[in-house]
Amino acid sequence: MLTLRPISSRQNWRPILIFVSLALALTIWQHRAAGPGVTSFPEYLCRALSHPAMRAFTKVQGVIYDVGVSVAQAPSLAAENRRLRQQRDRLQADKILLTEHFLENKRIREKLGFGLEQEVKEIPARVIAYTAGPQRCRVTIDVAGGREVHVGDVVRETQGVVGRIIEVHGSTAQVILLVDAQHALAGLDQRSRDEGMIYPVPSWAGIPQRLRMEKLQRHADLRVGDVIVTAVLGKVYPANIPIGIVESVQRSPASVETVTAIIKPFVDFDRLDYVWVVSKP
């Protein structure tokens, strides 16, 4: 027959006393460190033992998070992938269609005796002087390398057309800007293909550096946001150089056929630095 031996109270308290003594010793050791910011041996030991476990836990947590995000976003990513594939297919089809139109246009122009436009060369130049006034907006440019330019050559920036050369003196030339009161050019709405003449908005109108497009065809379809480019009308500028974007469209209350478009130029004429002179060979 088994007999249960009673456990003494001393044996019950022994583990607790050992644990408290160890904790008290470690606490005293910690507080007797050499100074603030100095890591004691117990603290160093605890960090050394817990660091691998914490690093492993962080890595596992990161993997779980990434997998969860991937699973949650899988439907939207699949839809985006399908949309991009469809867009790629449309662009490839548009490219083929544009190539066909280009070749067809080339054949038609050659049969009519026009041919393609001559290749143009762009000569770099630096703006060295401004001539500004209420009605006069012109700049002087210094052509790189003393290369030859001519009166009538077009001056442009990457963003769009700047103006054209009206005087040449050696390696320098004077350029009349689009916003000069004496300047005018033909413009074309890239979307609707409506053509008209573009003039600077007078300075007294209170709209700085704006252009107006007038003499449009009957029932012209111009909308805010349309891009305006140079037209071949008058043959002063090469075609399809960006001019600006339609900012507002004004129709005469007396006749809906009278349309004026206010255009914000792509070029900032107050900050001209380096430009290109477009010269035909």
Which band of pLDDT confidence, cut at 50, 70 and 90, is reported for residue 115? low
Q: How many CB atoms lie within 10 A of CB 173?
A: 23
Range 209-229 average pLDDT: 86
Which strand (E) or helix (H) includes residue 264? strand 259-265
Please report which confidence band the pLDDT of residue 10 belongs to, taking 50, 70 and 90 as the band edges: low
What is d(CA 57, CA 51) in angstroms, rounded to the nearest whole number? 10
- pLDDT score recorded for residue 114: 60
What per-residue confidence (pLDDT) applies to 178? Answer: 93
Q: What is the DSSP letter of 270?
A: G
Query: If pLDDT is split at 50, 70 and 90, which confidence band does 39 have?
Result: low
Q: What's the confidence (pLDDT) of residue 251? A: 78
Rounded Cα distance between 118 and 42, Å, is 84
pTM exceeds 0.85, yes or no: no
Judged against a pLDDT cut of 70, whether residue 20 lies above it is answered with yes
CATH code, residues 123-281: 2.40.10.350
Name the percent of the chain lying above pLDDT 90. Answer: 28
Strand partners of residue 279: 121
pLDDT of residue 280: 64
Determine the pLDDT at residue 117: 54
- Kindly list the domain boundaries of the chain, sorted by start residue: 18-29+41-116, 123-281
For residue range 142-189, list pLDDT tens digits in order: 998 878 899 999 999 988 999 999 999 988 999 999 999 889 999 999
Higher pLDDT, 102 or 274: 274
What is the rounded average pLDDT of the residues 211-238?
Answer: 84
Q: What is the pLDDT of residues 56-93, one digit of tens each?
A: 778 877 778 777 777 777 788 888 888 888 888 888 88
pLDDT surpassing 60 at residue 8:
no
Of residues 121 and 249, more confidence is placed in 249
Q: At what angle do helices 9-31 and 41-112 cross, to 10 degrees?
A: 60
Give buried/exposed letters for 174-193 (b at 16+ CB in 10 A, else e).
bbbbbbbbebbbbbbbeeee
